[in-house]
Amino acid sequence: MAKITRIAAISIPAFSHQASILEFCKRLVHLYPNIHVTCIFPTIDSPPSATITFLQSLPSSNVDHIFLPPINKQNLPQDAPPAVQIQLAVSQSMPSFRATLHQLHSTTPFVALIADTFASEALEVARDLSFNLLSFIYFPPSAMTLSLFLHLKTLHEEVSCEYRDHKEPILIPGCIPIYGHDLPEHFLNRSSISYELILRMSKRLLSLADGFLVNSFSEIERVTAIALEEEQQRRKKNTSVYLIGPVIQTGPSSDSNGPECLRWLDNQRPKSVLYISFGSGGTLSQEQVNEMALGLEQSGQKFLWVLRAPSDSANAAYLGVENIDPLSFLPRGFLERTKGQGLVIGNWAPQTQILSHSSTGGFLTHCGWNSTLESIVMGVPMITWPLFAEQRMNAVLLTEGLGVALRPKFNTSGIVEREEIAVVVKGLMVGEEANGIRQRIGELKDAAADALKEDGSSTRDIFQFVTRLEDLTRGHQIFDGS
């Protein structure tokens, strides 16, 4: 019987990251059945329900999972942004991660650890002599974001002002120039704890990772990947960058709303519906919800809108939603007036099924990288509406870099007004100027499908990762599953 190569993986307590690493592991073990992966999940209070549904759908094969004892949300700084709370929860989970790894490793040794970027502290554990595992980073966002993270130390030394006040666009190796105000939110206040954590993470990635598995594909980010490898060689590091995507969600998500959405879409004309969603936790302010509603109505276009209760914090729902009916926050009479025009769904919808439905013709997205890739894979043109994290960078890549999206203008108070929404929505759905966008997204859809073929660029990069793993582990003890 073939030898089993055992890998441990660790993610963070956020559905989109957990689903992404699980999907990658599914593909890895499908291509290489002699690999077994155990995914270890730090938890805040309790696992996301969408992750539970997702895990239940996994075939009982070569990917299994363990939830670490939960960190109590009350013990995290309540005023810190969700991204900081998540990283602190991961830090607090390190003792139980170490104990779990030790227990598993002592019976069936692992050869490598794959850690989500925001769980990179785990690489220090993996390097511990009692484990001595190879360390890879699973990077759910774009190669452009990885290039920024790895370039941060240099940027930090070279730029003295706040990045958002930097007059010239910032140059990141292999990427389109980007203005400071479009950098990820952690970068916008250099005296914040978020920035300090990201700087520390960046140094850890540079010193500890044996390689980066990036959820992107050659046809959209080849130049960035080449620049990343050149930078690593310049640093005299033998650290490879593998573009192993597009990894997108294929498992079911927890959506009692699913049948209603799909039934409604079945009754619409091909490519006539704009889908609107802000990821697993994005929220709009009450004022923006009003403008969105009235702008959609004014556009006259069909829409399917996943709505959350408004909040002044754009990622308020990232760690769970409150039990309030989001539809009660819509402008008076809106639902009656738009009855034949649109459908509004509370909190959650089956996104990949909606994007792949023939009636869907556009996606107004917060540009989370998973949503971005899902839209590319399904060939759906986008309107970019970045809210937090690295979403503004993704919006720049989609508009200026790849030319597959329109970007609406925010006013000086940070609101997109109803007239602007109506113009952009009509522009994307029926405007002649969007013909080029539709053609380019169609080309990217084909390129994404090609990347995943047996001889495609993504499959080749996974092969190279496995070959590297074998080369590096030669000499390591490998558990014989016979």
Instruction: Say whether 476 is catalytic.
Output: no
Question: Minimum Å distance from CB 277 to ligand UDP?
Answer: 5
228 HSE (CA, 13 A, CB side): 28
Q: Output 399-406 pairs: Cβ under 8 A, ≥24 positions apart.
A: 400/176, 401/176, 402/220, 402/440, 402/444, 403/436, 403/437, 403/440, 404/376, 404/437, 404/440, 404/441, 404/444, 405/381, 405/437, 406/382, 406/434, 406/437
Q: Minimum distance between the CB of residue 234 and ligand UDP, rounded to whole angstroms?
A: 31
The nearer residue to ligand UDP, 5 or 371, going by C-beta atoms, is 371
- Judged by CB, which is closer to ligand UDP: 81, or 368? 368
Catalytic residue among 116, 182, 210, 255: 116
116: annotated active-site residue:
yes
Question: On the CB side of 269, how many CA atoms lie within 13 Å of its CA?
Answer: 6
Q: Are 44 and 71 in contact (CB under 8 A)?
A: yes
CA angle 399, 434, 398 (to 5 degrees): 15
Whether the Cβ atoms of residue 390 and residue 145 lie closer than 8 Å to each other: yes
Phi/psi of residue 294, nearest 5 degrees: -70, -35
Residues of this chain that bind ligand UDP (CB under 6 A)? 16, 19, 249, 253, 277, 279-282, 306, 348-349, 351-352, 368-371, 374
Instruction: Give me the least distance between CB of 255 and ligand UDP, in Å please.
Output: 7
Which residue's CB comes closest to ligand UDP? 368
Alpha helices, H only, 139-185:
143-158
The residue among 100 and 370 lying less far from ligand UDP, judged by its C-beta, is 370
148 or 423: CB nearest ligand UDP:
148
R_g of the chain computed on alpha carbons: 22
Whether cis (ω within 30° of 0) applies to the bond prior to 246 is yes
CB closer to ligand UDP, 240 vs 283: 283
> Which residues neighbour 413 within 8 Å (Cβ) at sequence distance 6 or greater?
none
Q: Which of 17, 65, 151, 366 is catalytic?
A: 17
Catalytic residues: 17, 116
